[in-house]
Homo-oligomer: A and B are copies of this chain.
Amino acid sequence: MGIVVQKYGGSSLADATAVKRVAARIVESRRAGHDVVVAVSAMGDSTDDLLELAEGVSPEPPARELDMLLTAGERISMALVAMAISDLGCTARSFTGSQAGVITDSVHGKAKIIDVTPGRISSALADGHIVIVAGFQGVSQDTKEITTLGRGGTDTTAVALAAALGADFCEIYTDVDGVFTADPRIVPSARKLDRVSSEEMLELAASGAKILHLRCVEYARRYDIPIHVRSSFSELEGTWVLPASAMVDDQGEAMEQAIIAGVAHDVSEAKITVVGVPDKVGEAARIFEKLAAAQINLDMIVQNVSAAATNLTDISFTLPRTDGQTAMQALAELQAEIGFESLVYDDKVGKISLVGAGMRSHPGVSAKFFSAIASAGVNIDMISTSEIRISVVVSEADVDAAVGSVHTAFDLDAAEVEAVVYGGTGR
């Protein structure tokens, strides 16, 4: 059998008992004949504890030193997992991100993986060891500094290792059973999906589904790595996130996909409206250039047709709430120059997205979606679509009702459907 990469998050490694349970699962995979490589996060809340220590000594710690500090968390958990494995009669070798060959750029706190050179991992596997790798961390190519990958970092580490090692698949162990058709906390009738395409999973992750981070899904899609998202607290099959190449049946035929994978929602964004922008060529561009210069990533953008009488238009966009004040300040600096009327900031908004590869070939999905939202008495604020997704912005207070209504309208409680969203792992 080939190589399997597994990832265990902090909630699966909360204490000694949890570490031993994880070790037992790993040993089980090894004894089933796989070569096993494991990426681990820091134990439970230990990252928060380290951040608290940092706050205790400095209000604005240098990013390099913060990375040095935080990487101690995975170092501790990986050594403990290796010890627990050894106690079960197998041998394990733990490796830091740097030792494992996880090469990144130099952006401390949110470095990107640019290469993986897993020579030491391969040697350890060849010697019969189980390999445990510190997730969330790497070493920068140019400066050889220790870096961290930011949110979703350990998932990304696992998938990157799977790609570099030519693993058969990557198992992401978490504290939920898989990917659901909607967040079960909002829609109790939400169903676990058996499988979802990586294309759909990408849209779901980008739409607020927290179970897998966007970067990890992108990586898996690019390198054709099947991901199995499952719970470390049960033996149940989870959800397979499959690249297009794997969406075929035993006869090599493309598997039939459900029209809709699931409903995702996101209440982490704010909406800004620039009111009364002169409708001249280049004005909108200046607004977005200003925001780009402030390192702000926008999500949905809507510009209305200008009223003929005034020749003024309104531009609305959504962005992470955490960037809200920075964006408002940047735009205020631009007001005199562009001459728009005012800025409206609203952080009581929510986004609801319907995702499904079948949308391409099934007309009428949008109409049904909007009508489901209307029937819940919810007003739509903004609309944006991609080939396999429709998103709307509504009031934050209306999100739960709208999600429930859409979920029901598309028969997602029934047996033939597919996939999304909830839970959430920090790194």
A353 CB, nearest partner CB in chain B, Å: 39
Neighbouring B residues of A58 by C-beta, 8 Å: 83-84, 86-87
Q: List chain A positions with a Cβ less than 8 A from chain B.
A: 15-16, 19-20, 23, 50, 53-54, 56-62, 64-66, 68-69, 71-72, 75-76, 78-80, 82-84, 86-87, 91-94, 99, 144
* Structural contact, B86 and A62, CB atoms closer than 8 A: yes
A71–B72 Cα distance when bound, in Å, is 9
* Structural contact, B71 and A83, CB atoms closer than 8 A: no
A305–B71 Cα distance when bound, in Å, is 61
Neighbouring B residues of A87 by C-beta, 8 Å: 57-61
Can you list 7 pairs linking A and B with CB atoms under 8 Å apart?
A: A23-B57, A53-B76, A57-B87, A64-B93, A65-B83, A65-B92, A65-B94
A84–B16 Cα distance when bound, in Å, is 32
Which one, B54, B64, B75, B91, contacts A68 given CB within 8 A? B75
A66–B60 Cα distance when bound, in Å, is 32
* Structural contact, B16 and A53, CB atoms closer than 8 A: yes
Which one, B62, B72, B99, contacts A75 given CB within 8 A? B72
Which one, B61, B68, B80, contacts A86 given CB within 8 A? B61
Classify the interface of chain A: helix, strand, loop or mixed: helix
Neighbouring B residues of A76 by C-beta, 8 Å: 50, 53, 69, 72
* Structural contact, A82 and B54, CB atoms closer than 8 A: no
* Structural contact, A20 and B75, CB atoms closer than 8 A: no
Instruction: Identify which of A58, A66, A94 gathers the most chain B CB atoms within 10 Å of its CB.
Output: A58
What is the chain B residue whose CB lies nearest that of A64? B93
* Structural contact, B86 and A75, CB atoms closer than 8 A: no
A365–B82 Cα distance when bound, in Å, is 56
A245–B137 Cα distance when bound, in Å, is 47
A192–B35 Cα distance when bound, in Å, is 60
A16-B57, A57-B80 given as contacts; is B75 within 8 A of A69 (CB)?
yes
Neighbouring B residues of A72 by C-beta, 8 Å: 72, 75-76, 79
